[in-house]
Amino acid sequence: MASLDSVETFVRTQREQIDASVEARGLVKTYRSGARIVRAVDGVDVSIARGETVALLGPNGAGKSTTIDLLLGLLEPDAGEASLFGGPPQEAVAAGRIGSMLQTGSLIRDLDVQELVEMMASVYPHPLCVEDTLRQARIEELADRRTQTLSGGETQRVRFALALVSDPDLLVLDEPTVGMDVEARRAFWTTMRQGAAHGRTVLFATHYMDEADTYADRAILMAHGKVVAAAPTTEIKGLVGTRTIRATLSDADDADLGALEGVLQMERHGDVVVLNCSDSDRAIRALLDHYPEARDIEIASAGLEDAFVLLTSDGNGAS
């Protein structure tokens, strides 16, 4: 007879599977490059709950796009498996539950934007109405424009509309705001927040650290085909353990500043000095003891970009 603990574990596992939008275990994908076998994805585990917004981060070549293709069923893994909403990715895609915005592919030429969105809507079982799709993507003013006349940023916004038109439960976005101006990026993330508030799950890959830090509930960092961290961005930033002191200080020797207790590295930008510190408490006391005239002092924790560089650099990821 099964123990109570084993029954509880089984029930919890079943509940987690039901609540998960994305579930992947042990994904592996290899490619041949000349005589070498390259592991683009090397044992990746991913679990994303319904309603989560998750950023997928990593340097070029880390395996982000290949992982997304595996999750969507566009590639078959050499090992491991992926599921969307408890079933094969292809089933969720065919049911219109997945909206994707990938880096590859281009818009069909010689159609206006509204015609293109209408055509895509016709292939899904329960699409959004075209007017709502254009409004959510903020492209009403582009509706009668031919696709080949669009700018790069406008093209991205139309691609976003095509991802939305199926009224998906999960949006998978690969570098979605590349080419967008500041206003378009802000409008894009406003739409994302609204969708997440209504239970839509979002997985996005980006090189914009500010987007990940501001909009993601959690970040997954990849390097060399492996996941090196998966946590809220506040926790990932805490892994760095350093702080930065900025101050206005014109008459000070740079070497002396770099030698202050608790300081790891010193930079100068005109009259502004930047001290990267292993112990900011000791460093600020030493700075004020030696340079009481220092002003406009700021102390900041390491940013997500600092953590990104540390965790994805050679020696911290997979070899």
SS (H, E, C) the chain: CCCHHHHHHHHHHHHHHHHEEEEEEEEEEEEEECCEEEEEEEEEEEEEECCCEEEEECCCCCCHHHHHHHHCCCCCCCEEEEEECCECHHHHHHCCCEEEECCCCCCCCCCEHHHHHHHHHCCCCCCCCHHHHHHHCCCHHHCCCEHHHCCHHHHHHHHHHHHHCCCCCEEEEECCCCCCCHHHHHHHHHHHHHHHHCCCEEEEECCCHHHHHHHCCEEEEEECCEEEEEECHHHHHHCCCCEEEEEECCCCCHHHHHCCCCEEEEEEECCEEEEEECCHHHHHHHHHHHCCCCEEEEEEECCHHHHHHHHHCCCCCCC
What is the band of 306 on the pLDDT scale with cuts at 50, 70, 90? confident
Answer for the pair 34, 80: CB distance below 8 angstroms, yes or no: no
Answer for the pair 92, 140: CB distance below 8 angstroms, yes or no: no
pLDDT at res. 95 = 92
Q: Rounded to whole angstroms, how far apart are CA atoms 155 and 177?
A: 10
Q: Rounded to whole angstroms, how far apart are CA atoms 250 and 156?
A: 46
Phi/psi class of residue 272: alpha, beta or left (left: φ > 0; alpha: ψ in -120 to 50)? beta
Burial per residue of 45-54, b for 16 or more beta-carbon CB atoms within 10 angstroms, e otherwise: ebbbeebbbb
Calculate mean pLDDT across residues 180-184: 90
Domains, the chain, with CATH or none? 16-237 (3.40.50.300), 242-301 (3.30.70)
Calculate mean pLDDT across residues 228-247: 89
pLDDT at 272 over 50: yes
What is the band of 319 on the pLDDT scale with cuts at 50, 70, 90? very low
pLDDT at res. 1 = 47
pLDDT at 317 over 50: no
Which pair of tokens denotes residue 9? 């574990």
Percent of all residues in the chain with a pLDDT value above 70, rounded to a whole number: 92
Calculate mean pLDDT across residues 220-231: 95
pLDDT at 318 over 60: no
Which pair of tokens denotes residue 225? 């085909």
Which pair of tokens denotes residue 72? 């969507």
Which of these ranges, 136-150, 185-199, 279-293, has the smallest mean pLDDT?
A: 185-199
Mean pLDDT (the chain, rounded) = 89
pLDDT at 227 over 50: yes
Residue type, 90: Q
Tokens 């830090």 belong to residue: 213
- Record the pTM: 0.80
pLDDT at 54 over 50: yes
pLDDT at res. 138 = 93
pLDDT at 295 over 90: yes
Q: Rounded to whole angstroms, how far apart are CA atoms 101 and 176?
A: 7
What is the band of 313 on the pLDDT scale with cuts at 50, 70, 90? confident
Tokens 């599977």 belong to residue: 17
Tokens 């969720």 belong to residue: 92
pLDDT at 316 over 70: no
Burial per residue of 263-284, b for 16 or more beta-carbon CB atoms within 10 angstroms, e otherwise: beebeeeeeebbbbbebbeebb
Answer for the pair 128, 199: CB distance below 8 angstroms, yes or no: no
* 87 DSSP β-pair partners: 84
Answer for the pair 275, 263: CB distance below 8 angstroms, yes or no: yes
Q: Rounded to whole angstroms, how far apart are CA atoms 239 and 311?
A: 9
